[in-house]
Structure 1
Amino acid sequence: MPTATSPVHTPQTDGPTSAVDPRALRRCFGRFTTGVTVISYHVGDQIRGATVNSFTSVSLDPPLVLVSLARSTQACGAVADLPFAINVLRADQPDVAMQFAGRTRPGLRIAWDLPAGEDEPPTLADAVAVFRCRPWRRYDGGDHVLQLGEITGFEDRAGEPLVFGDGRFVSTGLPLLDGPMVFSLDGPPSPGWVGAAQRFHAMPEH
């Protein structure tokens, strides 16, 4: 089964390719309620991550998942060649989502499960589900890249997942935190939101 990634064509354009209003389209995308994930990986001895809500299962045989990553983010380039994990956040983890979307939470403690070998990615200890992946294929997605990962391991844990829709985090129908309507939290900054194009480092655990 092939595991090497394929090159991704970068479209060359001189300007907007559509008359669609991006803000209106973003709001419309926001009507689709999703879970919230953090993509995590190692760069050297540092743990990096980005908050992403454009995630979906793809296949059971082979076991594949897909995340849509903005081309401008460091995560997009990193996971082309590195093992990565998709961590499904728990309902009480909106601060973790914000941390890896660029809105640092001073004093936030993040617990990691660190891999024994170099071929496994770091994972969030408190996520409700974890998918460990190796890069499988990449496809052109306009200003995003569609990254498929082949699942090498997974964990299903107790707890309610964090949910995002209509521009806010919700849990069992109750608003937790207002925010801008976005399609992918890993995208470039929008008004009132800092995107994950910045560099992120693991928060020290006390």
Structure 2
Amino acid sequence: VFNIDKNLFRFLKIIIFFLFITSCSSFHGKFIESKILLPDPNSLPCCWQIRETVEIISNSKQISLSSVTAISENKLVVVIFDPLGRRLLNISQTGRHISVEKEKELTLELPVKLLLLGIFLRDMPNSGWSFEGSNWLVERSGDKKILKHANRTVISLTEVNSPLEKLPENIFENRKISNLYYHDLDLVVEITRLKKQRL
């Protein structure tokens, strides 16, 4: 019975994930499908592995996932897991090349570039947005960081530190919470950093 319940739970979560992806479909053609250039992962601080929880909120729907992000020399890898810790999606960017591996349940086109843009906005110095062919602009408004493409606001980012957490090593650290708002989608992604370690 437990295995059936687990499988049903995973199935329902994947269906919710499908609903989220479907809600993104109206965004295709406006931004994702256009020939934009992403920054080079080489502009990200190297070399780290970060484990996080990911809450995706759209209208009244909420999805709880987890992720591992690895930043190495000229390479960015993002792996997204379902609530049971099973891999749903593997995104890899080397230079300007992006490759995606996804579970067979994920049959729809995914907003991969949006996900990567959120990571770049959060972790990359502003200088990384200036490259040949770039049409990006990063602005600050109070504690908010705003990403624009061709004067169109794409993502807004705010970050806060959660209360101090005691780690197994008997030290304390703040768990950073990043709130990404995707304007065209009216979508919020809340990312809580659980652990960051050097590679």
Query: Which TM-score band (shorter chain)?
Result: under 0.3
- Point out which structure has higher relative CO (alpha carbons under 8 A, 6+ apart): 1
More helix by share: 2
- Larger Rg, first or second structure (1 or 2): 2
More strand by share: 2
- Report the TM-score when normalising by structure 2: 0.27
